[in-house]
Structure 1
Amino acid sequence: MNSALQTLLFGLAASLCWGSGDFTGGLASRRANASTVVMGAYAIGFVLLLVLALLWREAFPSTQDLLWGGLSGLAGAIGLIAFYSALSLGRMGIVAPLSAVITAALPVLFGAITEGAPNLLQLGGFLLAIIAIVLISRPERSQGRPVGLGLALIAGCGFGCFFILISRVSPTATFWPLAMARLTSVLLLVAVLLIRRQPLLPKKAVTPLLLLAGSLDAIGNAFFVLAAHSGRLDVASVLSSLYPAATVILATFILHERVTRIQGFGIALALVAVPLISL
Structure 2
Amino acid sequence: MTALLLALGSSLAYGCADFLGGLGARKAHVLRTVMIAAPASLTVELLLWPFLGASFAPATLAWGAASGVASAAAFALLYRTLAIGPMNVLSPITALVSAMLPVGVGLVQGERLGLAGLIGLPLALGAVVLVSAGNGARTTRPSRTALLSAFGAGSAIALQLVFLHEAPSGSGVGPLIVGRALSSAVTLAAAALTFRRLGPEKPAYALSAGAGVLDSVANLMFLLAGRSGDLAVVAVITALYPAGTVLLARSLLAERIHRGQLIGLGAAAVAVSLLALS
2:205 paired residue number: 207
> Is 1:164–2:162 an aligned residue pair?
yes
Q: Structure 2: how far apart are the matches of 1:94 and 1:260?
A: 11
Q: Structure 2: how far apart are the matches of 1:273 and 1:99?
A: 15
Q: Which runs of 5+ in 2 are unaligned?
A: none
SS state of the match for residue 27, structure 2?
coil
Once the two structures are superposed, the pairs formed by residues 140-159 of structure 1 within 5 Å of their partners are 140-142=139-141, 146=144, 154-159=152-157
Match of 1:36 among 32, 35, 42: 32
Read off the aligned partner of 1:15 and give its amino acid letter: S
Whether the 8 Å CA contact 2:59–2:168 is kept in 1: the answer is no
Once the two structures are superposed, the pairs formed by residues 103-252 of structure 1 within 5 Å of their partners are 103-129=98-124, 131-132=126-127, 135-136=130-131, 140-142=139-141, 146=144, 154-198=152-196, 203=202, 206-252=204-250
Greater shift after overlay, 80-89 or 245-254?
A: 80-89
1:77 paired residue number: 72
Q: Structure 1: how far apart are the matches of 2:69 and 2:133?
A: 27
Residues 39-72 of structure 1 show CA distances to partners (whole Å, capped at 9, x for unaligned) of: 2111100011110112x14143423112211111
Shift in Å, 1:12: 2.0
1:277 paired residue number: 275
Match of 2:20 among 18, 24, 38: 24
Whether the 8 Å CA contact 1:71–1:165 is kept in 2: the answer is yes
Greater shift after overlay, 94-103 or 17-26?
A: 94-103
CA RMSD, 1 decimal: 3.4
Distance 1:92 1:249, change over 3 A: closer
Residues 176-233 of structure 1 show CA distances to partners (whole Å, capped at 9, x for unaligned) of: 21121111111111121122125699837x2222232111111011111122112111
Once the two structures are superposed, the pairs formed by residues 4-15 of structure 1 within 5 Å of their partners are 5-15=1-11
Read off the aligned partner of 1:31 and give its amino acid letter: K
Shift in Å, 1:13: 1.6
Read off the aligned partner of 1:20 and give its amino acid letter: C
Distance 1:220 1:134, change over 3 A: farther
Q: Structure 2: how far apart are the matches of 1:71 and 1:265?
A: 36
TM-score (ref. length: structure 1): 0.81
Percent identity of paired positions between Structure 1 and Structure 2: 33
Q: Which runs of 5+ in 1 are unaligned?
A: none
Shift in Å, 1:110: 1.0
Read off the aligned partner of 1:249 and give its amino acid letter: L
Whether the 8 Å CA contact 1:100–1:133 is kept in 2: the answer is no
Whether the 8 Å CA contact 2:64–2:175 is kept in 1: the answer is yes
